[in-house]
Structure 1
Amino acid sequence: MSPQAAPAAEPASPAAGSPLLVLNNIEVIYDEVILVLRGLSLSVPEGKIVALLGSNGAGKSTTLKAVSGLLPSERGEISSGSVTFEGRDVTRMDAPDRVKNGMSLCMEGRHVFPHLTVADNLIAGAYTRRDKAEQIELVYEFFPKLADMRNRTAGYLSGGEQQMLAIGRALMAKPRLLMLDEPSLGLAPLLVTEIFGQIARLNAEIGLTVLVIEQNARRALEVAHHGYIMEQGRIVLEGSSTELQENPDVKEFYLGVGGEGGRKSYREVKHYKRRKRWL
């Protein structure tokens, strides 16, 4: 079955089972006038990895900020639609309360505390938890490099090590939903493979639900169960990871295979809108 364009007015159902997170027809505006998300709907089933793909400016990071409650800090707001987590409407819930309820965001650019040690960075992520020792051991189990560097100052870590630390810090809140914003950004290919391998392992071994946004579509679809493609603030295509990897438009414009002359950037293709069958 070919993936179909998602209807804007209804939340999608990517897999059987109860969805942990549902975004239903949400619109987001900044400064009361700039419309960024345009009736976006998606769902994330419990225990699955869902990838949200798209180019720069598509609205991916805004989507995560809408889910995690960070829009007010940037003069943004959800003007219509709803965000539901575990069947509860959290559209107007404050960000700290969302963390307490099991939602954790690892932001783009890592944002570790550079003057603190690795261990202190991790402890800072567990401010909502009493079982800090148990959680930090879990993080060290999945990221043994962090255990070896627990007393090192975070600002002196490499980009890949800081990304592991950022993910580890997000895990310290013991989330039911882990959201990752461009975890491969600025990393060498081997490190990207390692990071996504650990994401898959977290899902497989402890059942962690993951929503990951990425420009590296190939890596994201290798570990995801389901994917959405986003452009200009709306979902334009969805399907299982296999369906998306086999879709000719996705191959050409996101995976870099197919078409004449190899990989093409849609910004460089004059007939882009005509070629993309979902537009």
Structure 2
Amino acid sequence: MTSGRGTPMSDREPAVGTDKLLTVDNVEVIYDEVILVLRGMSLVVPRGEVVALLGSNGAGKSTTLKAITGLLPTEHGAVTDGTVTFDGADITRAEPAERVRRGIALVMEGRRVFEHLTVHENLVAGAYTRGVAADFDRVYGFLPRLAGLRGRVAGYLSGGEQQMLAIGRALMSDPRLLLLDEPSLGLAPLLVDEMFDIVRRLNTDLGLTALLVEQNARRALAVAHRGYVMESGRIVLAGTAADLADNPDVKEFYLGLGEAGGRRSYRDVKHYKRRKRWL
């Protein structure tokens, strides 16, 4: 797919096959009618794969997820150019509830569980598009720790348990595409391991396609099939997960490693930023 270590997007798009579940094509997003955040954002999520979207704070990763889910108007944002296509249908202007019914679910950054409700009541809320067809046993079977906590008020759960609940709530809508926004944020190292194992099993055990937004690039690329790197509202690098993990720029800025495998000083990194190969 790439020649060596990932390919700058200015050179060519990555070959991802023909079975594209999600396509974001040249999308532009503006907030408050003046602040341009996404500047021709394009990516593809093939059916049955985990795709990692990497980038520093402010690169536009969460805005990309909001463009896919239709949540931009809640923050005075809008897609002003480009298209979002899901399973062959143009959903660029579709309402958020319609996108959920089509099979898109989002696990938001910061967990965002309903703290005053019990675990089970949170899952009920996640099944609002399905009603009596909801399959609680499937979710409790996949996340057995939640089964033992079903009567617990969500606000009293640990951070890791709340993140599991957020994932379980998303699964209640029976999605075909799961969007995960920084699932490891604020978790202890052992819980981070468990969270990425859950992401892996979502794909291998449940067959879910996933778009994973994550700053922990090393762990994200370990569970992903392919990935994209964002800078300033656009994709600047794309490739297989293995190619990106071996890319010297990704090592430098997202894995914390220099060309020789050692960490560099902040001063060196600032100097190195001026000569990023993808700019």
Which TM-score applies when normalising by structure 2? 0.94
Native 8 Å contact 2:67 2:79 kept in 1: yes
Q: Which amino acid aligns with 2:76?
A: R
2:9 corresponds in structure 1 to 6
1:54 corresponds in structure 2 to 55
SS in 2 for 1:66: helix
Give 1:266 deviation, angstroms. Answer: 7.1
Kindly tell me: are residues 83 and 264 of structure 1, through their superposed partners in 2, closer, same or farther at Cα, counting changes over 3 Å? farther
Kindly tell me: are residues 138 and 7 of structure 1, through their superposed partners in 2, closer, same or farther at Cα, counting changes over 3 Å? farther
1:107 corresponds in structure 2 to 108
2:238 corresponds in structure 1 to 238
The separation in 1 between residues aligned to 2:182 and 2:267, in whole angstroms, is: 21
Q: Which amino acid aligns with 1:97?
A: E
Native 8 Å contact 1:100 1:128 kept in 2: yes
SS in 1 for 2:85: strand
1:275 aligns with 2:264: no
SS in 2 for 1:175: coil
The separation in 1 between residues aligned to 2:132 and 2:65, in whole angstroms, is: 27
SS in 2 for 1:165: helix
1:79 corresponds in structure 2 to 80
Kindly tell me: are residues 192 and 7 of structure 1, through their superposed partners in 2, closer, same or farther at Cα, counting changes over 3 Å? same
2:254 corresponds in structure 1 to 254
2:209 corresponds in structure 1 to 209
Kindly tell me: are residues 13 and 181 of structure 1, through their superposed partners in 2, closer, same or farther at Cα, counting changes over 3 Å? same
Native 8 Å contact 2:27 2:42 kept in 1: yes
The separation in 2 between residues aligned to 1:253 and 1:207, in whole angstroms, is: 32
SS in 1 for 2:29: strand
SS in 2 for 1:221: helix
2:219 corresponds in structure 1 to 219
Kindly tell me: are residues 213 and 86 of structure 1, through their superposed partners in 2, closer, same or farther at Cα, counting changes over 3 Å? same
Unaligned runs of 5+ in 1: none
SS in 2 for 1:114: coil
SS in 1 for 2:205: helix
Deviation sequence 1:256-277 (CA, Å, 0-9, x none): 2234793358787332334310
Q: Which amino acid aligns with 1:123?
A: V
1:124 aligns with 2:125: yes
The separation in 1 between residues aligned to 2:264 and 2:124, in whole angstroms, is: 44
The separation in 2 between residues aligned to 1:146 and 1:267, in whole angstroms, is: 46
Kindly tell me: are residues 261 and 4 of structure 1, through their superposed partners in 2, closer, same or farther at Cα, counting changes over 3 Å? closer
Kindly tell me: are residues 56 and 266 of structure 1, through their superposed partners in 2, closer, same or farther at Cα, counting changes over 3 Å? farther
Q: Which amino acid aligns with 1:38?
A: R
SS in 1 for 2:228: strand
Kindly tell me: are residues 85 and 264 of structure 1, through their superposed partners in 2, closer, same or farther at Cα, counting changes over 3 Å? farther
2:200 corresponds in structure 1 to 200
The separation in 2 between residues aligned to 1:248 and 1:180, in whole angstroms, is: 26
SS in 2 for 1:206: coil
Give 1:45 deviation, angstroms. Answer: 0.3
The separation in 2 between residues aligned to 1:236 and 1:215, in whole angstroms, is: 16
Kindly tell me: are residues 262 and 143 of structure 1, through their superposed partners in 2, closer, same or farther at Cα, counting changes over 3 Å? same
The separation in 2 between residues aligned to 1:132 and 1:199, in whole angstroms, is: 24
SS in 1 for 2:270: coil
Moved more, 37-46 or 257-266: 257-266
Native 8 Å contact 1:51 1:227 kept in 2: yes
Unaligned runs of 5+ in 2: none
Give 1:39 deviation, angstroms. Answer: 0.5
CA-based RMSD of the aligned residues comes to: 1.8
Give 1:107 deviation, angstroms. Answer: 0.5
2:25 corresponds in structure 1 to 24
Kindly tell me: are residues 265 and 229 of structure 1, through their superposed partners in 2, closer, same or farther at Cα, counting changes over 3 Å? farther
Kindly tell me: are residues 144 and 21 of structure 1, through their superposed partners in 2, closer, same or farther at Cα, counting changes over 3 Å? same
